[in-house]
Amino acid sequence: MKNYYRITTYSPEENVSAIVDCYGKFDELWKFSAFLVDKNFKVRAVSKEQNFEFGNIPKAQPDETRLILRACQTGEPTIDGNRIEVNGKFYFKK
């Protein structure tokens, strides 16, 4: 069974944020997170499928070779309580 992960990131150097999903490329959440940190992203929110609600971003299909960019924007993501938003795309942490 493949694990579904979602991470919201921010790059201070580029001033961009993104919501990125992983559905098969990494078998552990920490490996996904470490990959993004290695690319100079700051992790703002980390979730396993059972720890978030999809909001207006539908669940992606499994993909063992790629990460799935769900949203990106200039500037930091908006985190308001359990609602996380990037460029009008949002989800909720449980």
| Secondary structure of residue 26 in the 3-state scheme | coil
pLDDT at 12 over 70: yes
Instruction: Provide the pairing of β-strand 78-80 with 4-11.
Output: unpaired
Output the average pLDDT for the chain. Answer: 96
Domain boundaries, the chain: 4-93
DSSP designation for 76: P
Under 8 Å between Cβ of 11 and 40: yes
Q: What would the mean pLDDT of 66-94 be, rounded to a whole number?
A: 97
pLDDT at 1 over 70: no
Under 8 Å between Cβ of 32 and 24: no
pLDDT at 27 over 80: yes
Would you state the pLDDT for residue 2?
82
| pTM, two decimal places | 0.95
Q: What would the mean pLDDT of 62-89 be, rounded to a whole number?
A: 97
